[in-house]
Structure 1
Amino acid sequence: MAKNLNEQKFGAFPGLPACFVGAVLSGDPGKGPSLLVGKFASGCSVPWHWHTPDEHVMLASGVGRMEMKDAKTAVLRSGGYAMMPGHHVHQFTCLSTCVMFLKADGAFDTHYVNADGKEIPPEEALKKKK
Structure 2
Amino acid sequence: MKNKHLSLKLAAMVLLVVTFFSGTINGQQSNEMATEMSLVKSHTNADLQWGPCPPFMPEGCGIAVLHGDPAKKNVDVFFKVQANSDIPRHWHNSAERMILVSGKLYVTYDGEKEVVLNTGSYAFGPAKKPHVARCGDEGPCVLFIAFEEPLDAFPMVVKE
| TM, length-normalised to structure 2 | 0.66
Structure 1: gaps of 5 or more residues: 117-130
Comparing 12-21 and 67-76, the one that deviates more:
12-21
Q: Secondary structure in 2 aligned to 1:108? A: coil
Residue 12 of structure 1 and its aligned partner are, at CA, apart by 1.4
Give the helix-richer structure, 1 or 2: 2
Larger radius of gyration: 2
Asked if the contact 1:55–1:86 (Cα under 8 Å) also holds between the matched residues in 2, the reply is: yes
- Runs of 4+ off more than 2 Å: 1-5, 13-19
1:75 aligns with 2:143: no
Tell me which protein shows more strand as a share of its residues. Answer: 1
- Displacement, 1:100? 1.1
Which structure ranks higher in relative contact order (CA pairs < 8 Å, sequence separation ≥ 6)? 1
Residue 80 of structure 2: aligned partner: 39
Give ranges in structure 2 of 5+ residues lacking alignment: 1-38
What TM-score comes out, normalization by structure 1 length? Answer: 0.80
Q: Percent identity?
A: 29
Please give the alpha-carbon distance, in whole angstroms, between the structure 2 residues aligned to 1:111 and 1:41.
20
Kindly report which structure 2 residues correspond to 1:7-46, keeping only aligned pairs within 5 A, or say none.
Answer: 7=46, 8-15=48-55, 16-46=57-87
Work out the CA distance in 1 between the residues paired with 2:118 and 2:134: 12
Superposition RMSD on alpha carbons, in Å?
Answer: 1.6
CA distance, structure 2, for counterparts of residue 104 and residue 33 of structure 1:
5
